[in-house]
Amino acid sequence: MVDRFEQFAGYISGIFRQIQKLEREELEKCGLKGAFAQYLIVMTHYPEGITAAQLCEVCDRDKAAVSRVVAELAEKGMVERAGEKGTLYRAPLILTEAGKKAAAFVAKRATVAVRKATEGLGEENRKIMYDALGLIFSNLERICAMGLPE
């Protein structure tokens, strides 16, 4: 059982590390940090704006992490507040033209990365892989919410 756990955890954490490495290397080309990738992509799905509170929920990050990224993106001219609604944390944030350009770059490079990473799988195996990953994620989410059974 331990061997299976080590293999499972090793692959999952290894995949995550490789994704972070790719994000870091690709975003450096734009003068950005790899951590910005997820935020930029998520914000493209909210053209009318998304609040920092919503970003916390959608990106599964804490308020401090989101605040740091939003501040850095704003400093780089990638995001701006939409109007003057509420506090900085509650004001909708939108991508600027520079932010949209960076997000398009991230999306394009992510598409290439996923295509290359799943090369040789074929459509049937790709569907099985995504179904299996979705099931594993749901199961782990439930276990974390309810606790590990004895």
Which of 54, 40, 52, 60 lies closest to 110 in space, CA to CA? 40
Q: What is the value of pTM for the model shown?
A: 0.81
Rg (CA), the chain: 18
Give the confidence band of 145 by pLDDT, cuts at 50, 70, 90.
very high
Tokens of 1: 């059982």
Q: Which of 1-10, 43-52, 109-118 has the lowest mean pLDDT?
A: 1-10
Question: 93 vs 35, 41, 46, 56, 65, CA distance in Å?
Answer: 17, 13, 9, 13, 16
In the chain, pLDDT over 70 holds for what percent of residues? 94
The yes-or-no verdict on residue 89 having pLDDT over 70 is no
